[in-house]
Amino acid sequence: MQSKHEWRTNMKARLNEITAHDKETLDKEIVERLFTYEPYLKAETIGLTIAMKSEVDTKKIIESAWADGKKVAVPKCNPKSKQMTFYYLTGWDQLETVYFGLKEPKPEETFICHSHEIDLLVVPGLIFDHKGYRIGFGGGFYDRFLQKYPNETVSLAYEFQLVDSVPVESFDLPVQSIITNEQILNVK
């Protein structure tokens, strides 16, 4: 089996091959599935990142959540401690660009959202298996956060990011569902 580093390198290359038009189409299919997903419909607070270019775009999700009266919480990562703190986001102007081009909330303009207040956490990743395990981007932020997170988890991915199995370590926790452009895979 490939190492996590090899998996990441290969999948990043594959993601960068998607044309803008195809990405827009696939993102729309995934987001439309999310909007029919029962835990999303029931959630009052959604936790998710501001997607990077190669990830499923989360902007429409955030705007729809706001329009539906849901609260949105976005993480701020501390690279030294490898910990994340979520903050409620009520407008795009509350974001700043930090390392690697990530968009994160400005703590001085937002309020902390504790993990138990997030009803549905959208967990990012590069590769996912049919048991809900994932290979993330290598920082370990979500691995640490998930250890104490008590509620629903889902990941958004392109169908080609779904594989039979990935290397699993003792600290890895699976997500409960994966939504792709072709299916909603419930693995819990």
Query: Among the residues of the chain, which ranges form H helices?
Result: 4-16, 20-34, 38-42, 59-67, 141-146
176-180: average pLDDT: 98
Is 138 assigned to a binding site?
Answer: yes
Cα within 13 Å of Cα(175), Cβ side: 26
Q: pLDDT tier at 1 (50, 70, 90 boundaries)?
A: low
* Position 116, amino acid: H
* Position 110, amino acid: T
Please report, for the domain that includes residue 154, its CATH number: 3.40.50.10420
> Hunting for tokens 């703590």 — which residue is that?
107
**Residues 6+ positions from 25 with CB-CB distance below 8 Å:** none
User: Domain span at residue 13?
Assistant: 4-186
The H or E element spanning position 89 is strand 83-89
Is 109 assigned to a binding site?
Answer: no
Is 86 assigned to a binding site?
Answer: no
Query: What confidence score (pLDDT) does residue 168 get?
Result: 86
Is 141 assigned to a binding site?
Answer: yes
Is 132 assigned to a binding site?
Answer: no
23-28: average pLDDT: 97
> Hunting for tokens 């955030």 — which residue is that?
62
What's the structural domain count of the chain? 1
Q: What is the tally of helices (H) and strands (E) in the chain?
A: 5, 13
Is 144 assigned to a binding site?
Answer: no
Q: What is the pTM of this model?
A: 0.94
Query: What confidence score (pLDDT) does residue 147 get?
Result: 92
Is 145 assigned to a binding site?
Answer: no
Q: What is the pLDDT of residues 31-61, one digit of tens each?
A: 999 999 999 999 999 999 999 888 999 999 9
Which tokens hold the place of 53?
């270019």
More confident position, 99 or 78? 78
What value does the mean pLDDT of the chain take? 94
Report percent pLDDT > 70 for the chain.
Answer: 99
